[in-house]
Amino acid sequence: MTAKPRRVAFYIRVSTDGQSTALQRRDLVQACKHRGWEVTQVYEDAGISGAKGREGRPAFDRLCQDATRRRFDVIAAWSVDRLGRSLQDLVGFLSETHGAGVNLYLHQQAVDTTTPAGRALFQMMGVFAEFERAMIRDRVKAGLANAKAKGVRLGAPRTDTKVIARIAREKAKGLSVRAIADKLGVGAGTVHRVLNGEHVSQSGAYRGGDGPEGAAVRNP
């Protein structure tokens, strides 16, 4: 009994409208013919940067959704940078599709997770992604320590006590967060922090005192 050919979905992307997807498509078609795979879907994002997330690439988003529905067996892309620019994002994408039983073929890098060697490389990519995350954490910690040593004040910016009092008064009048922010010329996040008691005033911690303004802050 002859086995059914693997169903393949192409993901093709170019960053600018002036670029052509013809080369990517041609190479992927030839690779599939060589392996006896059947192309069943083509997802194309034209003129869209790979730096954008999934929500910014409509075809890529449909690809991910269809992968979880097992509408194909393999995702084929011309190069790894067609899928994304971040190693962590790529490994997350691979984990999601691999969990759904969908393999990956990358033409330029000669990666094919339908083979033992390809699966081993996939596992190594996970190791490197964890290494990258650890390096980022260490850099952030070192940066914070350096800023603290230089006397840089960390955390949310302090809010003027007069602004805090005005926010409390406007809230007591029944105004919404957005209305208060627009009226006072501050961000909605600042208003939220004041009303939730998460702010820090320029004169120190402030919770509104014991008067009606304080009650408005404590019980918005």
* pTM, to two decimals: 0.56
Please report which residue ranges of the chain form alpha helices under DSSP H.
22-35, 58-68, 80-83, 87-99, 116-149, 161-172, 177-184, 188-195, 212-218
Q: Do 13 and 81 fall within a single domain? A: yes
**Predicted confidence (pLDDT) per residue in 12-37, tens digit:** 998 876 678 889 999 999 999 999 99
Q: Do 20 and 87 fall within a single domain? A: yes
Q: Do 110 and 174 fall within a single domain? A: no
Mean pLDDT highest for which of 59-63, 118-122, 177-181?
59-63
* Catalytic hit among 15, 79, 86, 201: 15
Cβ atoms within 10 Å, residue 46: 14
Residue 151 lies in a domain: no
Q: Do 79 and 165 fall within a single domain? A: no
Q: Which residue, 215, 152, 158, is CA-closest to 190?
A: 158
Pair of tokens at residue 206: 């402030």
Q: What is the DSSP string of 29-68?
A: HHHHHHHT-EEEEEEEEES--TTS-GGG-HHHHHHHHHHH
Q: Do 103 and 186 fall within a single domain? A: no
**Predicted confidence (pLDDT) per residue in 135-172, tens digit:** 778 888 888 888 888 877 666 566 678 888 889 898 88
How much is the mean pLDDT over the chain?
A: 80
Helix (H, G, I), strand (E, B) or coil at 70: coil
Q: Active-site residue 15, yes or no?
A: yes
In this structure, are residues 216 and 196 in contact, taking their beta carbons and an 8 Å threshold? Answer: no
Residue 79 lies in a domain: yes
Distances (CA, A) of 216 to 11, 170, 194: 54, 9, 10
Q: Do 71 and 171 fall within a single domain? A: no
pLDDT band at 189 (very low <50, low <70, confident <90, very high): confident
Q: Which domain holds residue 194?
A: 161-218
**Predicted confidence (pLDDT) per residue in 78-120, tens digit:** 988 888 777 667 777 888 888 899 999 999 888 898 888 887 8
